[in-house]
Chains A and B, each alone.
Chain A
Amino acid sequence: MAAIEESGGGHGKGDGKVRAKKMSTRVDMTPMVDLGFLLITFFMLATTMSKPTSMTLAVPDKTDEKDQEKTEPLKASKVLTLFMGANDDVYYLDGIAADDDKAVASMKTTRYGFDLRSVIFASAKRINAANPKDEKGNDPFVVVIKPTPVSTYKNMVDVLDEMAITKSKRYALVETLTDSEKKLLGDKIVAK
């Protein structure tokens, strides 16, 4: 809808000459703006802005039996065991085995995020100070991550993320719970 507007030239002047009226064309851009914003809305809603990132996860080879014989069992005193419970709770055992008599008393609860980070840092500091480095120069601190049937995928990613943040190089994702661990956790890992 282009409107042709008269600009008021030639009126009210006393010289009597009739001048050609100056015309200025003006295009009404409202529909164009409408269309533009409609398209913007569409593209904003239809796109995913943040490109997803990915973290790599490498799991040990299950089929290779030879390597498994060589590994020596971890000393419980060097291990922080994290149990991923329901409702975003983390139960942890710091430097103590689940079949220990004192395990029940020493099992604590924490939350994901900052609390868990502090626990990992504190534990790493304590264990690394108490134990010498191994022959390859690695820190003795090991984290064993035990997901339970009630934990979610988010919990797992969160814990793996904490490993990256705290720079815990040595950690293991162990799917199976031992009998003593099951007994220790009790109904905390039973799906409701």
Chain B
Amino acid sequence: MGKVRPKKHAPHTDMTAMTDVAFLLLTFFIMTATFKSNEAEITTPSSISQIKVPDDHIMVISIDKAGKVFFGVDAKPVRAAMLENIGQSKGITFTETEKAKFALQTSFGFPLNQLKPWLNMSKEQMPNVKQPGIPVDSTGASELADWVYAARKADNQLRIALKGDNLSKFPVFKDVLSNLQSQNINKFNLITGSEQAPAGYTND
């Protein structure tokens, strides 16, 4: 008769604990998730300021490291209304599809005359286009002030936040500033990362 061989078992690790941990972490990350926007990569400088950026009623003017200026409003209906407002003041009519597409963009950087062709592109093409930035040059055409005006007309509680890249040069910021000041906006937030205050610093 054949020998009785001990049954071979593959070594089996109990993964229950690992699953527990994995899903705990997963839950945590899902709960805390605020998604990165697909806009231009901007690395903000850090400051010791502790004030959080408000969650709603906010418009963000971003300056990327090449000095291009982007503009974004947080709420979808405001975006649509803003587009309508700027269309009215500039004599451009936007179709409903264009408005719907525009309302989906968290931020954009197009001169007005290039906005319509961009909105008519397919959804797949839109992210691939290199955005040239909104013209802010105080000497030439400046459209940022118009956008800010249109946005504030759409939602009068909007606060303004500026988000600049570490490497963006000061003159661009100055142009943005003069655009805002031309509308009597003299107070706004600068978005920064947070940083530990130096030792011995007391907040009072």
Contact = CB atoms under 8 A, between A and B. Distances in A.
Interface stretch (A92-100, A123-131, A146-154, A179-187): A146-154
Interface string A16-56: 00000000001011101100110110011011111111111
20 contacts: A30-B15, A33-B22, A46-B35, A46-B36, A47-B33, A50-B193, A51-B34, A52-B192, A52-B193, A53-B50, A53-B192, A54-B49, A54-B190, A54-B192, A55-B192, A149-B169, A151-B170, A152-B166, A160-B190, A161-B195
Contacts of B186: 58-61
A122 interface: no
Interface string B11-41: 0100110110011011001101111100000
Given A48-B36, A153-B165, A154-B166, 4 more contacts: A55-B51, A55-B190, A61-B181, A152-B166
Contacts of B189: 54-57
The A contact surface, by secondary structure, is mixed
Interface in B139-180: 161-174, 177
Interface residues of B, number: 59
Contacts of A58: 186-187
Contacts, number: 165
Interface of A: 5-6, 8, 26, 28-30, 32-33, 36-37, 39-40, 43-44, 46-63, 84, 114, 117, 147-158, 160-161, 164-165, 175
